[in-house]
């Protein structure tokens, strides 16, 4: 009976892990599609990204319900409890990443200016590729319980921050040169900030992996590039 219970509990934990992986893949698709829609002013693709966010929200709720049921049924302790708590935390961060991709997609329809800044768009695309790569790596570290990989992801967040700071300065220059560029550049600023926030959520996941494996929070100060940009509290989504 005990062996059966252990096998059933292990199966529940494995199912949580599979759901996290599925949610991560969906986030990756959403980021890629949102940036493609932004780069090409593809309103139809942007609308599909917005519509698909409901599925990510549903996945997060499903993980939450599964985790709560597992806690109630199994009353896990120590590392087993950390497994469930980690799944809850990671699903919350993945849900927020999906929301940020949706925010970018929503801006596509309201960017009506004919003004193009190819260099800025290339930088935004580079930021998004970095975040997608970091997301993939941190989810692998979660699956493998690999602290070294998680810490590497954690340390690399400053690269995304640095690009965001550079974009802020460049877009501010365009706005100062011609007031007609202000609306367009402001939308791009918000898009870049959304990508930077995605990187923060990836970093959160790396910290959760550390907590899961070590049983204690990561107490080092989070590495951040110096920034002159509005903080998260002052920038609306």
**Is 225 within the bounds of a domain?**
no
Between CA 107 and CA 237 the distance in angstroms is 11
**Is 228 within the bounds of a domain?**
no
Between vectors from CA 112 to CA 109 and to CA 116, what angle results, nearest 5°? 115
Question: Contact at 8 Å (CB) between 144 and 155?
Answer: no
In terms of pTM, does the model score above 0.85?
yes
- Number of structural domains (the chain) is 1
**Is 52 within the bounds of a domain?**
yes
**Is 197 within the bounds of a domain?**
yes
**Is 232 within the bounds of a domain?**
no
Per residue in 121-179, pLDDT tens? 999 999 999 999 999 999 999 999 999 999 999 999 999 999 999 999 999 999 999 88
What CATH number is given to the structural domain containing 15? 1.20.58.220
**Is 166 within the bounds of a domain?**
yes
**Is 182 within the bounds of a domain?**
yes
- The residue segments making up the domain with residue 53 are 2-214
Per residue in 2-59, pLDDT tens? 443 567 778 888 999 999 999 999 999 999 999 999 999 999 999 999 999 999 999 9
């Amino acid at each position: 009976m005990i062996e059966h219970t252990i096998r059933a509990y292990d199966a529940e934990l494995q199912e949580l892990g599979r759901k996290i992986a599925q949610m991560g893949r969906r986030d990756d698709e959403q980021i890629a599609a949102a940036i493609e829609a932004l780069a090409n002013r593809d309103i139809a693709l942007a609308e599909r990204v917005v519509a698909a966010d409901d599925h990510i929200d549903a996945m997060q709720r499903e993980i939450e319900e599964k985790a709560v049921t597992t806690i109630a049924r199994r009353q896990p302790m120590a590392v087993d409890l950390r497994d469930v708590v980690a799944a809850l935390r990671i699903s919350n961060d993945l849900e927020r990443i999906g929301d940020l991709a949706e925010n970018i997609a929503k801006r596509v329809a309201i960017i009506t200016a004919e003004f193009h800044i190819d260099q800025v768009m290339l930088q935004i695309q580079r930021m998004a590729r970095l975040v997608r790569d970091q997301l993939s790596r941190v989810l692998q570290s979660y699956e493998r319980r690999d602290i070294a990989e998680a810490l590497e992801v954690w340390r690399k967040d400053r690269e995304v921050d640095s690009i965001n700071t550079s974009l802020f300065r460049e877009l501010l220059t365009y706005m100062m040169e011609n007031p007609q560029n202000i609306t367009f550049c402001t939308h791009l600023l918000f898009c870049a900030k959304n990508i930077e926030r995605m990187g923060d959520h990836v970093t959160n996941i790396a910290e959760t992996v550390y907590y899961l494996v070590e049983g204690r929070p990561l107490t080092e100060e989070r590495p951040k590039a110096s920034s002159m940009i509005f903080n998260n509290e002052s920038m609306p989504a």
